Chain A
Amino acid sequence: MPAVTETREAVETLGQSTYKWGFETDIEMDFAPKGLSEDTIRFISARKQEPEWMLDWRLQAFRAWQAMEEPSWQKPEYPAIDYQDAFYFAEPKNKPGPKSLDEVDPELLRTYEKLGIPLHEQAILAGVEGAGDVEARLPVAVDAVFDSVSVVTTFRKTLEEAGVIFCPISDAIREHPELVKRYLGSVVPVSDNFFAALNSAVFTDGSFVYVPEGVRCPMELSTYFRINARNTGQFERTLIICEDRATVSYLEGCTAPMRDENQLHAAVVELVAMNDAKIKYSTVQNWYPGDENGKGGIYNFVTKRGACRGRNAKISWTQVETGSAITWKYPSCILAGEGSVGEFYSVAVTNNRQQADTGTKMIHLAPNTRSTIIAKTISAGRSDSTYRGLVRMMPKARGARNFTQCDSLLIGDQCGAHTVPYIENRNMTARVEHEATTSKISEDQLFYCRSRGLSEEDAVGLIVNGFCKDVLKELPMEFAVEAQKLLQLSLEGSVG
């Protein structure tokens, strides 16, 4: 299997591998004043040149947030976060747009290089004028969110021709206010939960996607998030709308440099699918997980929710979570359209001291709605992993069906795996199935592989990838290989 070979090489080049993406870029930054107040929010809104209604929306969210308490029902434990001791806005100083790559901040280019982004794409990302026109052949459009500002969006032109809008959400607020007004906060209301309210108040950037009626988005859309500056929270906001019979596949990848302090990442993602629309949202998350002793790392507290508003709409979440000190999120589907489909495919890997509490919510409102949940958790080291999922069949969900499968794989004897399924059925014709297994990688399996010439790490990689196959096959091709490598890297040193 070539992926395994490549992984081996990757591991070798890393030596005693630590966090591969743990570099820090020294770029001049503009910060908002530290701390969180109405002034901070006014500052952000002003810097983003937002219209008045947007500022009001933010302030409303901020007031809701002030009245809320931080939730404490989750499994992961973390020290109290001081919300006044962080920056809420940081922006690379480099405006207006450069004319060629030579004019771009070399530090920024070096960052892109380390991320493995090819030169021509670097040019596009760095906002070199005209660079986007030449490279329209590439199949993936990238929107890089470097701290709080989406540096530039590639392929906007190609997409525009198809009628697709793919741009930073701050642009969308200015350029497509009617769409943003109609949909922003319609799936995740500002007062939905503590972290969503915080995000609504201070979100600085993120992506906006609008696919008009009958359009099949001509390329995979991809966003690259990266937290760079110290003590900044990344509060991005993503909004994806698919009109009738429209289709889109969207991928986000996340990294952050190594830092001793913990950084908060509280994003909100909202998806809206109308009649016969299909949205596929894939996440490969490898935020810095902290060191072996649990020092540093990202707190990844994210609210992701999709609404199938039309008939036979479909929303599919696929996530590969290998990073973050704490992952705490439940990408969910509200199945409001008759016959609509929700899917959730998840791989969560925890190693060392990482904690993950993740799963999904499938809310069946309409008749003949269907949902599938495949969740795989892999725990190694002294980590702890929880699947927490809710399947709710409402009274009108005639003939609705759900199938849930939760599998846990343990490596070593100091880690934990927990499965917490909540099932609420209020319609007698609805069917809910739940299957769960827990297993360990056995000595027998390792020895069997090694006696065939595989190294211990290759053997673990093979077994883990086999375990996750049902989920990995849901990822877009290009990213499936990447995800396999990531799995192996994050589990390195977990055996023997």
Chain B
Amino acid sequence: MNDFLKISGLCAQIDDNGTPKEILRGLDLEVPKGEIHAIMGPNGSGKSTLSYVLAGREDYEVTGGSAEFLGEDLLALEPEERAALGVFLAFQAPIELPGVNNANFLRTAVNAVRRARKEDELDAVGFLKAVRAETKHLQMSDDMLKRNVNVGFSGGEKKRNEVLQMRMLRPKFAILDETDSGLDIDALRIVAEGVNSFGGRISRHSSSPITSVFWTTSSPTVFTSWRRARSSIAAGAKWRWRSKLRAINNISRRWHERRDRSFAGSRVLSVPGP
């Protein structure tokens, strides 16, 4: 039995200038803990919609089905309650918050989540220590902590900042919505390693469940072993809207090789076999 994440018959629509537009039409999907899933599909196939619905965005109306996460009815929770429970969404286009200091924002978020989880809040020193370790890992400059949240960040900096937030908030289930898009090879490697080592750290040093990751992408070339990633979806999910998902079979060989080199030894790229 899987009690980690279970999505059944999920239907969701969005208001498209007054007329409801159905996007998810009965999605079934089970994710056991500790797995990494790639959600692939062309633009408009509903990858971001699925991400937003799971994170609790109000613009999307859930018209049917259910989503259970750790035994709780995920869809009944407020976004902040989902965050406290361990759901994290890395935005495809991270939002700018003018005037809000990045470090301050991060600390407020971390402590809000810690409070909800009945953990001690981090004081300024403890927080700074924790965040410095993470920024070093992600090769981010301290300068990024001093700037305002996502304001004036380059595309790559924004994505790195999302991964930083993920690592600091320690979710159990992370949704990375196109976190690979717009990144050059080097940035992609750093981000991928950030995601990868995160899962590993959780499993080695703590008793909390291994984090599961959803990584939506329109270019499955991110995953060197994308065939295996895809097969894991095929095994765990029944996409009723499969017709929309198009397996991309003709990946350029050259691309493939370059990615292979960049991602050598990076476990995020393959589906860990239990």
Residues on A facing B (Cβ under 8 Å): 1, 4-5, 442-445, 447-456, 458, 462-463, 465-470
Contacts and interface: CB of A to CB of B under 8 A. Distances in A.
Interface residues of B, number: 36
A451 B56 contact: yes
Contacts of A453: 80, 83-84, 109-110, 112-113, 116, 169
Interface in B99-125: 99-101, 104-105, 107-113, 116, 121
A345 to B, nearest CB: 14
Given A1-B107, A5-B121, A462-B108, A450 B99 contact: no
B105 A462 contact: yes
Given A452-B113, A454-B108, 10 more contacts: A445-B96, A447-B79, A449-B97, A450-B56, A451-B82, A462-B97, A462-B104, A462-B108, A463-B99, A465-B99
A1 B56 CA distance: 25
B73 interface: no
A469 B99 contact: yes
- Identify which of A453, A455, A465 gathers the most chain B CB atoms within 10 Å of its CB: A453
Contacts of B148: 466
B58 A443 contact: yes
B257 to A, nearest CB: 37
B137 interface: no
A450 B84 CA distance: 10
Contacts of A470: 99
A445 B91 CA distance: 12
- Identify which of A452, A455, A469 gathers the most chain B CB atoms within 10 Å of its CB: A452
B98 A466 contact: yes
Contacts of A469: 99
Contacts of B97: 445, 448-449, 462-463, 466
B104 A1 contact: yes
- Identify which of B83, B112, B113, B165 gathers the most chain A CB atoms within 10 Å of its CB: B112
Given A5-B121, A453-B112, A458-B112, A448 B95 contact: yes
B78 interface: yes
A469 B99 CA distance: 6
Nearest to B123: A2
Contacts of A467: 98-99
B100 A448 contact: no
Shortest Cβ-Cβ A-B pairs, 3 listed: A466-B99, A466-B100, A453-B83
B57 interface: yes
B65 interface: no
Contact of A452 (B59, B98, B99, B165): B165
A448 B99 contact: no
Contacts of B80: 450-451, 453-456
Contact of A451 (B89, B96, B100, B121): B89
A452 B58 contact: no
B94 interface: yes
Contacts of B104: 1, 462
B100 to A, nearest CB: 4
Nearest to B88: A451
10 contacts: A447-B57, A449-B109, A450-B78, A450-B79, A450-B80, A451-B83, A453-B84, A462-B108, A468-B99, A469-B99
Nearest to A437: B98
A453 B85 CA distance: 9
- Identify which of B79, B113, B121 gathers the most chain A CB atoms within 10 Å of its CB: B79
A451 B99 contact: no
B55 interface: yes
Interface in B117-176: 121, 148, 165, 169
A355 B109 CA distance: 34
Contact of B112 (A455, A463, A465, A466): A455
Given A451-B83, A451-B89, A452-B83, A462 B100 contact: yes
- Identify which of B56, B80, B83, B108 gathers the most chain A CB atoms within 10 Å of its CB: B108
Contacts of B113: 452-453
A443 B59 contact: yes
A451 B105 CA distance: 12
Nearest to B84: A453
A378 to B, nearest CB: 12
B107 A452 contact: no
A447 B97 CA distance: 12
A166 B244 CA distance: 77
